[in-house]
Amino acid sequence: MCGFVGMVAPPDQTSVAAEIHTALMCIQHRGQDSAGIATMDETGATFHMRRGLGTAGQALGRRDLEALVGPIGVGHVRYPTIGRGRLEDAQPFFYRQPGILMAHNGNITNYAELEASLAERSIHLLSSCDVEPALCELADALMQRRPSRHSLDDTVVALREMKNRVRGAYSLAAVLMVDEVPTLVVVRDPKGIRPAVIGRRDDGAWLVASESVAFDALGFSRIEGPEAGEAVFLRAGEEPIVRRLDEGAAGAPCIFEYIYFARPDAVMEGRGVYEVRLALGDALAGRIADKGVDADVVIAVPDTARPAATAMAERLGLPLREGFIKNRYSGRTFIMPDALTRDAALRLKLNTLPREIKGKRILLVDDSIVRGTTLRRVIGMLRDAEAAAVHLAIHSPPVRHPCFYGIDMSTDEELFARRFSEDLVGLERAAAEELGADSLTYLPVAALDEVFSGSRCAACFDGRYPAPITEADRAAIAGDRRTSRGGSSPVADGEEPRSSHGPHGPLGG
């Protein structure tokens, strides 16, 4: 999973880097392995890029932002689901001819097929990041039209050709010259699985992002679009230009964005994430009541489960308490020593409040169970704090199917729920015993209809994949994840911590 930002400065502003950096900080929860920003000047002749490993604050410093001149650009934060956490896989990406910057969120499922097809055209990929073949396909399609001075029609045709070749789930932002004007284009796949939003500011600036949370910090207001299968072209001081790339597109936004990934203050597809999580908690509380689970207090696993826990406590008439304090600075692998065990790492991140736990029957609320390793340790921490009982409540259904669309759970063997019976009651009983809980209650798949209306991607729960994916692509994606998890350190000895070069040509700055 990743997050992207794109910005067009107002007519009187010459740089966007600082504001893109601020926006990346707002979507930092979407990726902490690497970050980058790339900009283009007003003539389209000069590009600048800085990329580095770590968070946006770690990867990009003041000097980097000063070097990133230009009134239009894109930024990215990455958590790898294809490829590894290496510098050459960090986004944005750059293609020298005809001059395109690109950043994306999602998963291109036919990477291997595209790699082979591009090689036949003497275009060779220089990374394992799946945005690169999409960028190469767009660049090649444009160059087949004409070598330079591409019109809006040229660009729309090229984007359609890219869409026809690229499969999977993606939203992307690209910067290029269109009709000799610096242009930011944001595109969503034909199913609209991965999110993208557009914001406008009174001074004529435009901002696109994976989530709307960046808008408030920079004074932007959210507007409609882009819809599934659309491309929206944005220029300084001008109105958006909207083009359909797929007339048969029908949106199926990812349900896991609402359940876990997005920030609670985000608005997606016109609906607040916090509102959805409250509704999920209310629906789950009904099942807890039907089962007659006896509890004294509701405690959430920080932080995603808090809204659902709030709704559950209200409906069940139970007090809501903090049972854990989260160390905001525990971070990921950049702060924790590699030698620490998973258990020690979790104890760095969470600490219990024993007075809220001792002797009480805890209703422990979490958003989902993917691998089960974290929850097993969390329940152990409650036992150590002398909880009288631990009843686990999960405000989503069992995750029984891999995600091939950009969430990091792409192999069958890593999924906790696949170890047990498909019968929900039997699964809950066996899984509770495995985790060390007194009981476990999931939200049934059918209950999602109470919360979500319309088409959606819930493939991780129901196994119905809305975007086409072949068995060969599934095997390749799962194999890549197995290899990357067992691979070497993200930073090789002697590797520079940041780069000013793109994969298809040197950049200015």
Axis-axis angle for helices 273-291, 306-316 (nearest 10): 40
Helix, strand or coil, per DSSP, at residue 366: strand
Q: Under 8 Å CB-to-CB from 238, ≥6 apart: which residues?
A: none
Which residue reads 């690109």 in tokens?
102
Single-letter amino acid, residue 425: V
Catalytic residues: 2
Pairing of strands 206-209, 72-78: unpaired
Q: Are 195 and 171 in contact (CB under 8 A)?
A: yes
Tokens 């090689």 belong to which residue?
119
Tokens matching residue 367: 């958003």
Cβ-in-10-Å burial (0-12, 13-18, 19+) of 331 comes to middle
Residue 43, C-beta contacts closer than 8 angstroms, at least 6 positions apart: none
Q: How far apart are CA 477 and CA 322, in angstroms?
A: 39
Closest among 137, 142, 77, 73 to 104, alpha carbons compared: 77
Query: With contact defined as beta carbons under 8 Å apart, do 441 and 394 qualify?
Result: yes
Distance (Å, whole) CA 493 – CA 490: 10
Structure tokens at 177: 């010259």
Contact by Cβ (8 Å): 108, 167: yes
Give yes or no for a cis peptide into 307 (omega within 30° of 0): no
* Widest distance between CA atoms in the chain: 74
CA triple 10-15-20, angle to 5 deg: 90
Nearest partner of 39 among 63, 20, 23, judged by Cα: 20
As given in the structure block, the two tokens for residue 293 are: 């689970």
